[in-house]
Amino acid sequence: MTRAQQTISIGLLLSSLYLACFFGLVPFPQQIQDDVIPYVPFWALVSFGAYLLGKLGWGVLTFNDVPEAHKELMAQIQEARADLRTMGVDVD
């Protein structure tokens, strides 16, 4: 199973579980059904965004701890500078 198929399968599973809860096929107390279930997708989206921002921040914070990526990025910067110099652009 490829990663795309796995992601689609998990998405469909979570969507079907949410819809079953939303339409009342899974019995919940009325207060939870009215006050919690409708806001679960928004809560999931905000939580996912916070997770991604945290992961991005951690990656920026520990960037120097990845010497291979640092070397690769510096080589790409030097290559871009050389290409721009051949086109007559002052990059210094």
Q: Does residue 82 sit within a domain?
A: no
Q: Does residue 90 sit within a domain?
A: no
Range of the structural domain that residue 20 is part of: 3-65
Q: Does residue 71 sit within a domain?
A: no
Which residues fall within 8 angstroms of residue 37, CB to CB, at 6 or more apart?
A: 18, 21, 22, 28
Q: Does residue 73 sit within a domain?
A: no
Going residue by residue through the chain, which has 92 residues, state the pLDDT in tens, using 9 for 90 and above.
799 999 999 999 999 999 999 999 999 999 999 999 999 999 999 999 999 999 999 988 887 777 888 899 999 999 999 999 999 888 87
Which residues fall within 8 angstroms of residue 38, CB to CB, at 6 or more apart?
A: 22
pLDDT at residue 59, as a whole number: 86
pLDDT at residue 10, as a whole number: 96
Q: Does residue 92 sit within a domain?
A: no
Looking at the structure of the chain, the number of domains it has is 1
Q: Does residue 22 sit within a domain?
A: yes
pLDDT at residue 60, as a whole number: 87
Q: Does residue 38 sit within a domain?
A: yes
The number of angstroms, rounded, from the C-alpha of 14 to the middle of its chain's C-alpha atoms is 17
Name the residue with tokens 């960037």: 63
Q: Does residue 41 sit within a domain?
A: yes
